[in-house]
Copies of this chain bind each other. A is one copy, B any other.
Amino acid sequence: MRTVGVLGGMGPEATIYFMQQVVGAVSARDDADHVPLLVDNNTQVPSRISAILDGGDEDPGPVLADMAARLVTAGAQALVMPCNTAHYYAAQVSAATDVPFLNMVDLASAEAARLAPKGKVGLLGSPALQRVGVFEPALRAAGMTPVYAQDAEQVLATIRSIKAEGPTKRAARILSDVSADMENQGADVICICCTEFSLLAKEIKAIVPVFDAMQVLVAATVRFSTSGEIADMPA
């Protein structure tokens, strides 16, 4: 079993949820059957949303690059980052070490293309994703078109409420409404691409298929740890 390093803490509950999903994805008879993870549950990474939306004065990029380097020094053989918005800094993370970076945005874009080839994908995530086009290059490479929520403020408020209060039924209802809005804009598939929303993945209702970027990352993590294989990603 190879050790996978996790750039975590964005937020801490999403990281824990990711770890739970990795445990749940393995059929285990004892501890040793599980994927070894080295987790920097770093709650002190400067806010990605603030840096992107408000031009916050602290740059998360160098902090994430440093976390990546320290995880590899401590023994990580590949890296993952269960926070979609933080993938804006993916190039810096990837450049900081020599080990593979299993890029959740690339993996999710490939999964969207598998579910709805050449279609439109509703990105149920932070407005910061749209502002700086975190998914655009990977989706373009996969022949997909993104669709975003029209009421960005409402989505942002929902992320903040989950970070403060945890996942609630009210948040799930809002996210189902946002999914319906994206279907009205022509979405053929909905991609949950905020790890706070992953906590509510089973509660989010839509007519088109819904998948969770985090689950795609979980599968890639288990695959790398057990086989050393790196999932195909769009160029």
Contacts and interface: CB of A to CB of B under 8 A. Distances in A.
A11 B3 CA distance: 15
Given A41-B39, A70-B74, A23 B31 contact: no
B1 A43 contact: yes
A79 to B, nearest CB: 13
> How many monomers of this chain does the complex have?
2
A168 interface: no
A119 B32 CA distance: 38
A172 interface: no
A16 B36 CA distance: 13
Contact of A164 (B20, B29, B71): B29
Interface string A200-226: 000000000000000000000000000
Contacts of A91: none
Nearest to A30: B163
A74 B45 CA distance: 15
A36 B43 contact: yes
Contact of A9 (B36, B70, B75): B36
B30 A36 contact: no
A148 to B, nearest CB: 24
Contacts of A12: 19, 23, 31, 34, 37
A144 B47 CA distance: 48
B43 A32 contact: yes
Given A32-B47, A70-B75, A71-B74, 19 more contacts: A3-B42, A9-B31, A12-B19, A12-B34, A16-B16, A16-B20, A29-B163, A29-B164, A31-B47, A31-B163, A33-B43, A36-B41, A37-B41, A38-B40, A38-B41, A38-B42, A39-B39, A40-B74, A70-B74
